[in-house]
Structure 1
Amino acid sequence: MPAADATLRVLSLLAGQRAPLPAARIAAELDLPRSTTYDLLSVLVEHGYVLHLAQERRYAIGPSAYEVAAGYARHAPLARVGRRVVERLVDATGESGHLASLSGSDVLYIVEERAKGRTSLVTDIGVRLPAHLTATGRAMLAQLTPAQLRTLHSGREELLRRTDAPSPATPRQLRELLRQVRADGVAWESGEVTEGFRSVAAAVLDQAGWPVAAVALTWEEHRVDEEQAQHLADRVREAAGEIARMVSGRRAG
């Protein structure tokens, strides 16, 4: 089916880009007629698989594509590979770990490994939580483009909270927090999901730099000082890099 083939080629091209593309560039890259390209893009935009940035006259991968990626993550190598890495991370640190993917504006937990003697957490496999509240969600959101973030959190609506701990209340505050996450290379969360618990997470990036998942550690805040927390952050970064290399086939560099 030529139309299906062209549609998948458009999605694959956009998924591999770090910046939106104009329709003319898409048509040229894929050797498609411009009229066909515009027709395909129109349908993909309607269903949320592609974003149309009208002011820039460019197109980018859309949030519905991430729903497909989340479904893949639940059943395919990411969860199997990630489980082995998370198990080793938990054994090495003695703290509970998990792996999550983005599903719209939520995170979906696909691997959960509780450390021996540690308290059960809310992050069981299959649980969804608002991405802006979690360390895993923040780690992944920080890697999205501004346009993609706007589709998830547009306007001035107040963001959901679970506890009384300080957390971003508006999309603007969330964007400010995500800038810090990008600078640090990891995302933190303290008492915003469960009171008394802290988490640190790092994004698992594909070859194009898109977040396919995030790996995290969670612990009771009173047991771990700041120096120890930074050590845990380093181990989480290493684990995220290991998963990324295994999923993409890249070698350690």
Structure 2
Amino acid sequence: MTQNTSRSSKVPAAQHTLAILKLLTAVDAPMSAARIVQETRIPRSTVYHLLAVMEEAGFVVHLHQEKAYGLGLAAYEMANAYSRQQPLARVGLRFARQLALQVQGSAHISCLSGSEVLYLLEERAPNGVRLLTDAGVRLEALRTASGKAMLAFRSSAEIKAAVGVCGVGGQKYRDVERELEEIRDRGWATEYAQVSPGQESIAVPIFDHLGRAASALAVTFSIGSLDRRNIAELIEEVRESAAKIAIAVYRTRPK
């Protein structure tokens, strides 16, 4: 038995939950609990228990009149999140690749997930340093330029939540708020060796059609590899790329 099989066999509830969700996703109409039992071969009592839990969490909805179950709002929200993120990665690939080659480093696109940054895409130049920012990786938002670039344009409640969870270097809320205000005024954020030793990053928010900083485009390169003029030019290129991504993905009108 492989290690993965051994691990998965210890969480049958998770396997059963996913099996039910996959089944409901594959059909065109709500399904009775009896049919779910028949199709999945999961014990009847287990099916009813899991359906109750998923209904409470919003992943399934119980249609009492039809005595059937269908996908709930939470499941659709997950699908919508996926549909938003995939175009973002596809559209951003060309821009990220170009920026990574330009600085001989890395470029990445990310979004906020609570107090963390979730990386959706990373492009690295052939000789670029391997970083911690592979797609799927999560890091504390306040450690990263991307996280700060997005938080700077978020609500006070979201900022307070991120500060409370992260507590980077013991910074107090007013210190973080001051830094984010500066980022908001200039439109971009930086970090120096906070994520990877010897590397610095510049990040710019990508605004959606509601004007919300929905994601961020960032570039990372070796500290000292660019002079001030090069960095100033790079910032403008990242901003232009972020604006083009916003237009393509969110149909955001240029400001």
Which category of TM-score, normalised to the shorter sequence, fits these structures? 0.5 to 0.7
Following superposition, the deviation at residue 76 of structure 1 comes to 2.5
Structure 2: unaligned runs, 5 residues or longer: 1-56, 58-73
Question: Measured at CA, do residues 126 and 135 of structure 1 come closer, stay the same or move farther in structure 2, by a change above 3 Å?
Answer: same
Counting only pairs closer than 5 Å after superposition, residues 87-98 of structure 1 correspond to structure 2 as 87-98=97-108
Query: Which amino acid is 2:122 matched to?
Result: E
Aligned-CA RMSD value: 2.6
Q: Percent identity?
A: 36
1:187 match: 189
Between the aligned partners of 2:219 and 2:179, the Cα distance in structure 1 is: 19
Question: Measured at CA, do residues 235 and 174 of structure 1 come closer, stay the same or move farther in structure 2, by a change above 3 Å?
Answer: same
Counting only pairs closer than 5 Å after superposition, residues 32-43 of structure 1 correspond to structure 2 as none
Q: Deviations over 1:128-180 (max 9, x none)?
A: 110011000000000102133223334xx87135xxxxxx7222211111001
Match for 1:247 among 242, 246, 249? Answer: 249
Q: Deviations over 1:178-226 (max 9, x none)?
A: 0010111100101111221100000000122101110011011022222
Query: Which amino acid is 2:218 matched to?
Result: A
Match for 1:110 among 105, 110, 120? Answer: 120
Question: Measured at CA, do residues 93 and 223 of structure 1 come closer, stay the same or move farther in structure 2, by a change above 3 Å?
Answer: closer
Following superposition, the deviation at residue 82 of structure 1 comes to 1.6
SS of the counterpart of 1:110?
strand
TM-score normalised by the chain length of structure 1: 0.64
Detail structure 1 runs of 4+ shifted over 2 Å in the superposition: 67-76, 88-95, 150-154, 249-253
Query: Which amino acid is 2:222 matched to?
Result: E
Query: Which amino acid is 2:90 matched to?
Result: R
Residues 187 and 200, structure 1, Cα contact 8 Å, conserved in 2: yes
Following superposition, the deviation at residue 234 of structure 1 comes to 1.2
2:60 match: none
Between the aligned partners of 1:158 and 1:94, the Cα distance in structure 2 is: 30
1:200 match: 202
2:219 match: 217
1:141 match: 151
Between the aligned partners of 1:68 and 1:153, the Cα distance in structure 2 is: 26
Larger radius of gyration: 2
Residues 85 and 242, structure 1, Cα contact 8 Å, conserved in 2: no
More helix by share: 2
Counting only pairs closer than 5 Å after superposition, residues 26-105 of structure 1 correspond to structure 2 as 71-72=81-82, 75-105=85-115
Between the aligned partners of 1:73 and 1:226, the Cα distance in structure 2 is: 38
Query: Which amino acid is 2:125 matched to?
Result: A
TM-score normalised by the chain length of structure 2: 0.64
